[in-house]
């Protein structure tokens, strides 16, 4: 590639401009305050001292809560999948026609606009405190998110495959079952695993709003200033997330080696 | 021969004054008129961009023409409930449109979906006679022993045979094949062309596009040249020499 000076200069200008905007925004947010930052640094130091050593006595409690967190993530992902797959098919122009497909896409976007935590609050109100609300909240958001990812994967199929199978004279459900789903099966599986990984992280804060899992303890330890217990909970969360990410990534790679590039798009 | 309903010789596809253009662009097809007969191989020649692929896609019902008439065995091209396309017309796109991760026999069985009940097929309960027919067709096409393999493990010529097998499962009156042997080496091309010749001989109207003038003159019954969206030549293959073909193609 030939980088001529004329193509570099606007880049530098843009970088200077963005830096200027950043400084202005920090000032506006009150972060360009020397004494404040100094106090913050001192507090972090004190906080860090209280974090160690981690309180081993809470290990059974937080480990149990982490298991519940992973369970919430798993159940939320699976229920979301069950909702997402038919909706994604309904969001496909060839399967349900342009008008209906557009409406379904709009619905998926709307569901996705509301973050999982907000959905969890809605379900805490609806079904009460506990993991049930967490599962339902995560399922709603996952449905919107996976619905969009699956719909994109369906749109990216080789059009000749769709036309060849349509040419046989099949109905729309048959087209979905015999062309669209088999062509995208690997991508759909890989994306579902990806969402499960994401949901393990998302579900560890669902407890903040009383929707089950380790988040309840994370928030509780912060509020009661038990920073050594908080450290234990963070370590357990970190370990679980790393293990699940690694395992899931390995499985995903095996699918992806035969799936299309769309699987990694998010 | 399994998969081929015997059809009385005569006109299988009749195309009259077909026009097509994308929105306000210049027309791609300008009043195309021709017949394709049962039991004959009709080869459509012409330079790229001359409207060959568009013509086949219109004949399959994938694209609606601006105006003009298409009849299959004297009845208009069917458009069924919810956009179901006419199963009497089989279509093999240029890249074949096979599902590569699926087995050969699964791909071939999709050819019978129009005559398998929707619920039954969605549950994966394919009639035994369909499976038997699919296996017989694969055997006839010389790839019977590949039935259980995924399509992605097959060679180009073998994939071509799978596509032919799928179209035969449709019990077609017409088979449309786009750039049928363009991806194959010359030896395999000749094998596939003579296989196609056999299929046509049993009563199917085979309409294919190609760039291979030699193969067209050797195997086809009829050659049609499309130039700038219009029929520039329509003649029995044996009555036209290469010079005349080139002249019709180039203009």
For residue range A44-78, list pLDDT tens digits in order. 888 888 888 888 889 999 999 999 999 999 999 99
**Average of pLDDT values for B236-247?**
91
What is the percentage of chain B residues whose pLDDT exceeds 90? 71
The residue extents of the domains of chain A are 5-51, 57-264
Q: Does B125 touch chain A (CB under 8 A)?
A: no
Cα B67 from Cα B20, distance rounded (Å):
7
Beta-carbon separation of B87 and A171 below 8 A: no
- What fold does the segment set B11-84+207-251 form as a domain? Rossmann fold (3.40.50)
**Average of pLDDT values for B81-103?**
90
For residue range B169-198, list pLDDT tens digits in order. 999 999 999 998 888 898 999 999 999 999
Q: Which residues of chain A have pLDDT under 70?
A: 1-10, 256-266
Write down the pLDDT at residue B10. Answer: 86
Q: How many CB pairs under 8 A join A and B?
A: 87
Q: Where are the beta strands (DSSP E) in B48-128?
A: 67-72, 75-76, 89-92
Beta-carbon separation of B86 and A170 below 8 A: no
For residue range A80-112, list pLDDT tens digits in order. 999 999 999 999 999 998 999 999 999 999 999
Write down the pLDDT at residue A6. Answer: 53
Beta-carbon separation of A165 and B122 below 8 A: no
Residue of A nearest to B56 (CA): A167
Q: How far is CA A27 from the centre of its chain?
A: 31
Distance (Å) from the alpha carbon of B223 to chain A's nearest alpha carbon: 24
- Taking Cα atoms as reference points, which of A151, A171, A180 lies closest to residue A262? A151
pLDDT over 70 (residue B7): no
The residue extents of the domains of chain B are 11-84+207-251
pLDDT over 50 (residue B240): yes
Q: Does A182 touch chain B (CB under 8 A)?
A: yes
Write down the pLDDT at residue A31. Answer: 83
**Average of pLDDT values for B227-231?**
92
Write down the pLDDT at residue A257. Answer: 63
Q: Does A100 touch chain B (CB under 8 A)?
A: no
CATH label, A57-264, candidates 3.40.50.2300, 3.90.1150.10, 1.10.3720.10, 3.90.870.20: 1.10.3720.10
pLDDT over 80 (residue B64): yes
What is the maximum span of chain B, computed from C-alpha positions, in angstroms? 56
pLDDT over 50 (residue B211): yes
**Average of pLDDT values for B6-13?**
71
Beta-carbon separation of B62 and A168 below 8 A: no
Helices (H), chain A: 5-28, 34-51, 59-90, 93-96, 98-113, 116-127, 131-155, 159-167, 172-175, 181-203, 215-223, 227-256
């Amino acid at each position: 590639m030939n980088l001529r000076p004329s193509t570099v200069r606007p880049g530098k200008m843009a970088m200077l401009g963005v830096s200027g905007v950043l400084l202005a925004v920090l000032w506006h947010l009150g972060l360009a305050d020397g004494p404040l930052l100094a106090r913050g640094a001192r507090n972090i130091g004190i906080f860090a001292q209280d974090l160690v050593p981690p309180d081993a006595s809470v290990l059974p409690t937080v480990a149990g809560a982490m298991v519940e967190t992973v369970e919430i993530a798993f159940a939320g992902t699976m229920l979301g999948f069950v909702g997402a797959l038919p909706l994604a098919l309904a969001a496909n122009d060839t399967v349900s026609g342009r008008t209906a497909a557009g409406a379904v896409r709009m619905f998926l976007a709307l569901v996705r606009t509301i973050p999982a935590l907000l959905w969890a609050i809605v379900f805490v109100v609806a079904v009460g405190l506990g993991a049930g609300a967490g599962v339902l909240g995560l399922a709603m958001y996952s449905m919107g998110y996976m619905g969009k990812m699956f719909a994109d994967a369906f749109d990216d199929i080789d059009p000749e495959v769709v036309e060849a199978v349509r040419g046989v004279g099949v109905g729309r459900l048959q087209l979905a079952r015999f062309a669209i789903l088999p062509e995208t099966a690997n991508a759909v599986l890989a994306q579902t695993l990806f969402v499960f990984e994401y949901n393990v992280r998302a579900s560890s804060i669902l407890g903040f709003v009383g929707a089950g899992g380790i988040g309840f303890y994370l928030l509780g330890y912060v509020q009661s200033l038990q920073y050594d217990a908080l450290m234990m909970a963070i370590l357990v969360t970190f370990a679980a997330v790393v293990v699940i990410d690694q395992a899931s990534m390995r499985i995903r790679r095996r699918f992806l080696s035969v799936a299309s590039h769309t699987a990694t798009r998010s | 021969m399994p998969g081929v309903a015997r059809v009385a010789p005569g006109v299988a596809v009749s195309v009259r004054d077909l026009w097509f253009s994308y929105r306000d662009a210049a027309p791609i097809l300008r009043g195309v008129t021709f017949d394709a007969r049962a039991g004959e191989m009709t080869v459509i020649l012409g330079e790229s961009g001359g409207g060959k692929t568009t013509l086949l896609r219109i004949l399959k019902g994938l694209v609606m023409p601006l105006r003009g008439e298409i009849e299959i065995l004297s009845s208009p091209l069917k458009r069924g409930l919810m956009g179901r396309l006419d199963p009497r017309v089989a279509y093999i796109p240029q890249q074949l449109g096979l599902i590569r991760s699926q087995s050969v026999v699964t791909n071939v069985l999709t050819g019978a979906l129009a005559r398998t009940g929707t619920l039954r097929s969605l549950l994966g309960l394919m009639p035994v006679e369909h499976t038997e027919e699919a296996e017989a067709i694969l055997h006839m096409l010389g790839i019977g022993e590949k039935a259980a393999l995924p399509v992605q493990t097959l060679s180009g010529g073998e994939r071509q045979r799978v596509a032919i097998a799928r179209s035969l499962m449709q019990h077609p009156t017409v088979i449309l094949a786009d750039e049928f042997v363009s991806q194959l080496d010359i030896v395999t091309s000749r094998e596939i062309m003579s296989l196609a010749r056999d299929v046509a001989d049993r009563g199917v109207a085979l309409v294919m596009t190609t760039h291979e003038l030699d193969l067209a003159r050797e195997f086809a019954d009829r050659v049609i040249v499309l130039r700038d969206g219009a029929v520039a030549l329509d003649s029995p293959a044996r009555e036209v020499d290469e010079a005349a073909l080139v002249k019709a193609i180039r203009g």
